[in-house]
Amino acid sequence: MTGLRESGPKIGVVGTGMVGASFAYALMQSSLATELVLIDANRGRAEAEAMDLNHGLPFVRPMRIWAGDYADLAGAAVTVVTAGAAQKPGETRLQLLERNVAIFHEIIPQIVRHNPDGMLLIATNPVDILTYHALRISGLPPAQVIGSGTILDTARFRYLLGRHYRVDPRSVHAYIVGEHGDSELALWSLANIGGVRLRDFRSSGGVGYDEAALQRIFEQTRDAAYAIIERKGATYYAIGLGLLTIVEAILRDQHTVMTVSSLMTGQYGVSEICISLPTIVGAAGVEEVLNLTLSPEEEALFRASAQTLQERYAQVQSGSSTAPAAG
């Protein structure tokens, strides 16, 4: 730690695995916060990550970084939760559910006990159901509980579309919504590059509309995590940056539109589950879920995605889930 820090926001991270550490590293370089507390069931791991990050402080702006306990979350603007069982090769996100629900029963009440006014940002998979579960057991207002949702899927989608059309992915405006997982869907009816719908867009290199190619891009987007996990065991860099983007929108009250997971209250006939739609995020957390004009097929796919999540959560609540037992 350093005595040169300025007064500013505190951020907490619960879970210092690869996602938590990647987010912490990105946060340290961003100068968004002046305090970062790392918490992990493995105290030694949190201490080691704090040491490693502190050794980089001479290269960035002053900041206090330390391994702490839940009491140290008091006053944190945002607590990022990445703790949970890791996804195994060949394992779906939904198969993680039962183990991580048990973990959340241990950590969420402790976070809220010490920091009832801060935002909860959930990244643990399956993120939509765990965001909903965190909301239910925390007792916090819905606006304060946000899941990373399909922010990463949307980024992957825009990157792949940008590569296909040879344009900057920041100029691609396209969303993946629904579950962060196998039932997610692309909003093709709204996808565009610089305001030009994909069906009408032709790149400078002559690349135009190709339905088969676009379907492959969606499949690559949906299945990207499985491909990465098979090759290196986990995904963490891109989601670390995605979490930083959400935290920045909150700390700077940016009113940024992003596909985070939040409580549905009747959108497209869906309620009582957290799932992703384009959402305005600012200092108040979830400010508004946008009401988009979707095609009838997209609305049906969105409702089906939500139903998938609701059914699995109901199975876990009734004790009849076929997911692996807690371990």
Position 199 in a domain: yes
Q: Are residues 106 and 202 in the same domain?
A: no
Q: State the average pLDDT over residues 77-106.
A: 84
Q: Are residues 178 and 302 in the same domain?
A: yes
Q: In which band, very low, low, confident or very high, does the pLDDT at 318 lie, cut at 50, 70 and 90?
A: confident
Nearest CA to 73 out of 105, 118, 15 is that of 118
At which of 115, 147, 179 does a domain end? 147
At which of 94, 120, 147 does a domain end? 147
Q: In which band, very low, low, confident or very high, does the pLDDT at 2 lie, cut at 50, 70 and 90?
A: very low
Q: Are residues 301 and 314 in the same domain?
A: yes
Q: Are residues 239 and 104 in the same domain?
A: no
**Is residue 249 within 8 Å of residue 151, measured between CB atoms?**
no
Q: How many separate domains does the chain show? A: 2
With 80 as the cut, is the pLDDT of residue 166 above it?
A: yes
Q: In which band, very low, low, confident or very high, does the pLDDT at 6 lie, cut at 50, 70 and 90?
A: low
More confidently predicted of 192 and 324: 192
pTM reported for the whole predicted model: 0.92
Sign of the CA dihedral with 220 first, then 296, 278, and 271 last: negative
Q: In which band, very low, low, confident or very high, does the pLDDT at 86 lie, cut at 50, 70 and 90?
A: confident
At which of 147, 181, 206 does a domain end? 147
For residue 251, the enclosing domain spans 151-318
Q: Are residues 168 and 314 in the same domain?
A: yes
Q: Are residues 258 and 199 in the same domain?
A: yes
Position 324 in a domain: no
Angle, CA of 260, 29 and 283, to the nearest 5°? 40
Q: What is the pLDDT of residues 10-38, one digit of tens each?
A: 999 999 999 999 999 999 999 999 999 99
Angle, CA of 177, 223 and 239, to the nearest 5°? 65
- Indicate which CATH number applies to the domain containing 221: 3.90.110.10
| Partners of 296 in beta bridges | none
Q: Are residues 182 and 288 in the same domain?
A: yes
Phi, psi of 212 (to 5 degrees): -65, -40
Mean pLDDT of the residues in the chain:
92
Which range is least confidently modeled, 195-199, 263-267, 321-325? 321-325
Which of 95-109, 272-286, 305-319 holds the top average pLDDT? 272-286
Position 5 in a domain: no
Which range is least confidently modeled, 90-99, 145-154, 209-218, 316-325? 316-325
- Indicate which CATH number applies to the domain containing 125: 3.40.50.720
Angle at which helices 237-251 and 151-165 cross, to 10°: 110
Position 53 in a domain: yes
Catalytic residue among 55, 105, 164, 180: 180
In the prediction, which pLDDT does 297 show? 97
Which tokens hold the place of 122? 């959930």
3-state secondary structure of 119: strand
> How much of the chain is in helix, strand and coil states, percent to nearest 5?
45, 20, 35
Q: Are residues 141 and 155 in the same domain?
A: no
Q: State the average pLDDT over residues 183-202.
A: 94
Position 59 in a domain: yes
Q: Are residues 140 and 155 in the same domain?
A: no
180 annotated active-site:
yes
Q: Are residues 111 and 166 in the same domain?
A: no
With 80 as the cut, is the pLDDT of residue 5 above it?
A: no
Q: Are residues 139 and 155 in the same domain?
A: no
Position 2 in a domain: no
Position 327 in a domain: no
More confidently predicted of 238 and 320: 238
In the prediction, which pLDDT does 319 show? 66
Q: Are residues 168 and 272 in the same domain?
A: yes
In the prediction, which pLDDT does 323 show? 37
Position 224 in a domain: yes
